Amino acid sequence: MLRFSVVLLLLLATSLCQAADYKQWLPLLPESAMGIPRSGDPEGTNVTMNDMENSSLTVRYRDGERSAEIMLIHDSSRSLIMPFEMVRDMRVETPEEIHLPTTLEGYQAIYQLDRPGNQAALIVILSPTMLIHVSFQPAPEKAALMKFVAGLPLKKLAASVQ
C-alpha cells in the first residue's frame, strides 16, 4: 500500500510540474512584429536530462532592411537566466551603448541599445527559470519597444513553465 501511495504521489507531482515545450509558445507569438512579417521557420528545442529541462524558441521577422527577433528561454537549472539577473541592475551609458534596468508589466527587465549597430533589445525575466529577449534593427524608440513587448502575452508565457 505504501509503495502504491509513493507511486501515486510521484505521478501527481510530475503532472503538476508541467515540462516546458517550445511548441506551446508558437501560437502565442505574433505573425508580425511592429509591421515586420515572420521570416523563415521558427527554431525550437526541448532538452531534458535528469532533472534539468531546457526549452528555447526563436522566431525571426524580416522586411527588407528591418528585422526583429523574439527568443524565449526556459532553463530549470537557471544557469542561462542567472547572468541576466546578475547584470539586471547595472546601468551603462556610453556613446556606443545603453544598458538600463527597467520593469515591464511588473517583471524585471533590461533595456539595451547598441548605437553603432542601430539595434535595441528588451530582456524580460518572466520567472526565475524563464526570460524573453526581443530585439529590433533598426532600433525603435524605447517607448515603442516597451509597448510592443507589453502587448505580448507575458503572463501566459510565464505560466507555461510553472
pLDDT in tens, 85-100: 767 778 999 999 999 9
Pick the CATH number of 19-159 from 3.30.200, 3.30.499, 2.60.40, 3.40.1000: 3.40.1000
How far is residue 49's CA from residue 47's CA, in Å, rounded to a whole number? Answer: 7
* Weakest-pLDDT range from 30-34, 47-51, 64-68, 92-96: 47-51
Q: Which is nearest to 27 in space by CA: 160, 149, 135?
A: 160
How far is residue 54's CA from residue 47's CA, in Å, rounded to a whole number? Answer: 5
- Give percent of the chain above pLDDT 70: 83
Q: For residue 1, what pLDDT band results from cuts at 50, 70 and 90? A: very low
pTM for the predicted model, two decimal places: 0.84
pLDDT in tens, 9-26: 233 333 334 457 899 999
Maximal CA-CA distance, the chain: 69
